[in-house]
Structure 1
Amino acid sequence: MHLIVGDDGRARPAWAATDPLLRDYYDGEWGMPVRDERGLFERLSLEAFQSGLSWATILRKRPAFRAAFAGFEADAVARFGEADTARLMADAGIVRNARKIAATIQNARATVALRESEGLAALIWSFQPEATPMPLTAADVPTQSAESIALSKELKRRGFAHVGPTTMFALMEAVGIVDTHLLGSHRRGTSGVWTADGRRADAGRAA
């Protein structure tokens, strides 16, 4: 069974059906649009830290990540130096990976630099596709797309690190740029960005 109906009568994918933390994240946050710089910088950072780990691990450490990285305020993280890196590497509450910590600081500086042009939010959302996947099963959900490959390439060009195409597709799923909720899930088409049948909710509004 690809969707599991909970005690509340709501259908969810298996990954979000049992662990209360993951269920609450799925019901209230995953796939909802995030359009502010801080929110996107946080999620970009957490997706990079998640690489090679379970998302549940990252969610459980999220409060510690926020405390360690100044609430993911890009200006503050951009000022981090060697002492901050040493502090982060000693912080058991987060994922202590030197490359990912360095990438987060580098990405904060790149985020600040982007304000001189379109800004992080506008850049990331400019890669929203015209259609979104229509998955019946977890196996139908892609791990990359033409847009995530292009976004990865553009972010790297702008000085970002640890932003590979798979990580960027996960980011796009998490912040509503694509809707990969399984067909039949109670969350399918609820973001206001996409309709349940995979069309952009803003299609035709300009007309």
Structure 2
Amino acid sequence: MNAETPVKVEAEDLYYGVHKGIRLANARMLVRLGSVDPTDEKALAETLKALEQHLEMSLSHLVHENHQIHTALESRCPGATHDAGDDHEHHEESFVELRRLAAEVAGAGADRPKRLRRLYQRFALFVADDLAHMHEEETKLMPLIEANFTPEEIVGIRERIVADIEPDMMVRFMRAMLAAATETERREMVGGMQAGMPTEVFSGMMTAVSGAPWVPGDWAGLGRALAAA
């Protein structure tokens, strides 16, 4: 290589890792809603609580995309996020409806199986919409971001998103993202966190993510914990 040839820096993908995590979380939640026994009060209550937490995470992701990614992209490509913004509004309407249906399940009597089925079917439709929406963001918005922002600016967007996420919510995101990652991606993510956090903060984060104190390098143990999460 000629000494004067510039080295191209690969831009960070703002969507890929978190979307893999959300896809996995969507799938797990869908299976859980479809398999819970409506007569098992404890299991049903835990499932509905998990659904609420899932919707909170989905809304958090949507809000950060609106505030950081869409705002930045609109500043250089006006109108680029119009369709994605419409999708986000539809998602927010879905969250309201899903919460209403979940409340109906919780308060139902003999018709609980029917109401649970309705909730399951509505959530399946949301997942279908979300999968299509995430694909659009990855294949249309991310190329625009790469074309209009430097790699350093893209890292800055990601850092602002991370700084806005509360610790408890960050644990939910990291659990989903690490569970969905390949072994190589998982090692890179954990290594990045370890390099960027004080030791005690990193240890606390990994304990919260894995559900028990994690020994650095125990990838098999982390994989088992994430599979069971």
TM-score of the two chains, using structure 2 as the length reference: 0.28
Highest Rg: 1 or 2? 2
Q: Which has the higher contact order (CA 8 A, sep 6+)?
A: 2
**Structure with more helix by fraction:** 2
TM-score of the two chains, using structure 1 as the length reference: 0.30
